[in-house]
Amino acid sequence: MIELTDAMHVAREWVVEQLRFPQRAPRTTAVIAWSHVSATTQSAVAGLSNVIIDPNEIVAQPSWWRRVTGRPCGYPQLTTGQRAELRQAHTSLHWPLREEGPEIRLVAVAEDVVARVVSHAAWKHPLLDGHRTVLGFTIELHLVAAAAHDLFSLRANTPAVPDNDITDNLARARAEWERRQVVAAKAEAGLIDRVAALRAYEAALTPIATSVHNLHAVTEMATGGADVDRLYEDIVGAEYSIERTSALRNDIDDIRAALESQVAYLDSLIGPHRNA
């Protein structure tokens, strides 16, 4: 059994908490058995889209595929052979119209976590180039959805426990029923751990985003020293300009006072003549 780290414990508790609440219906209505797809075709698929890949769209690859993926008209598409290979590995998943079990909720939770991861600013940073591709998350999501659908089918096809008739006639049936319950419980626990691993990965992106921000800040401060020096010189120059302007303002006051004194003096000289 895999020993869980502290981060995984926190992530697992988060996933279990999400299962307490109703979730939307899963969007993953088909999966591809990627282990049966050649590396060449996987590489071609990875180059076609920068979003989580819908198996139904990638197999059909209609005329509007370029517009969906945002690729230019000259961008290469999958070959007929590659599409045929993907069709062979394609399986549809039929979910109930009404939510009937935690395994269905787990698929919806996994879809939301993966969507947030691939749109996270830190995950898109060049430092994480090649760390995990969108195809990698698509494969992981398909594995989760396929396992959840198998678990859903097992539970849906398992009847109620056989009645105890105090005989050994149904001993094997009861043993098989109990075995299915044990297998289902272990499968559900494994699914929770798998989704928790995705959640732990998502949580790890937040400190990376902080580090990337700090790296940018430190780099800017290290390389932008000349700009700061120029700005400081501008500040000093502005202070000098303010002082000089203030001094000129004071000079104006002195000049005005002198003019007013002259006016008063001249007025005093012409005063007696006006009285005469």
pLDDT in tens, the chain (276 residues): 455 678 889 999 999 999 988 888 899 999 999 999 999 998 888 887 777 888 888 777 555 555 555 554 544 578 888 888 999 999 999 998 776 689 999 999 999 999 988 887 777 666 665 555 778 888 899 999 999 999 999 988 888 887 776 666 677 888 888 899 999 999 999 999 999 988 988 888 777 766 666 666 666 666 655 666 676 566 666 665 666 666 655 666 666 677 777 777 666 777 555 555
CA-only gyration radius of the chain, Å? 37
| Burial category of 151 from C-beta neighbours within 10 Å (exposed 0-12, middle 13-18, buried 19 and up) | buried
The dihedral built from the CA positions of residue 171, 177, 182 and 187, taken in this order, carries a sign that is positive
pLDDT at 145: 94
CB 90 within 8 A of CB 62: no
CA dist., res. 97 & res. 119, Å (int): 29
CA dist., res. 165 & res. 168, Å (int): 8
Provide the residue type at 167 as one letter. T
CB 170 within 8 A of CB 162: yes
Alpha helices, H only, 33-101: 39-46, 55-60, 65-69, 80-88
Domain layout of the chain by residue ranges: 6-29+93-222, 224-276
Q: Is residue 90 helix, strand or coil? A: strand
Q: Is residue 27 helix, strand or coil? A: coil
In 3D space, the residue among 124, 48, 117 whose CA is nearest the CA of residue 86 turns out to be 48
pLDDT at 163: 75
| Burial category of 192 from C-beta neighbours within 10 Å (exposed 0-12, middle 13-18, buried 19 and up) | buried
Q: What is the DSSP string of 67-85?
A: HHHT--TTS----HHHHHH
Structure-token pair, residue 131: 């760390």
- Contacts of residue 8, defined as CB under 8 A and 6 or more positions apart, other chains included, come to 193, 196, 197, 200
pTM of this prediction exceeds 0.75: no
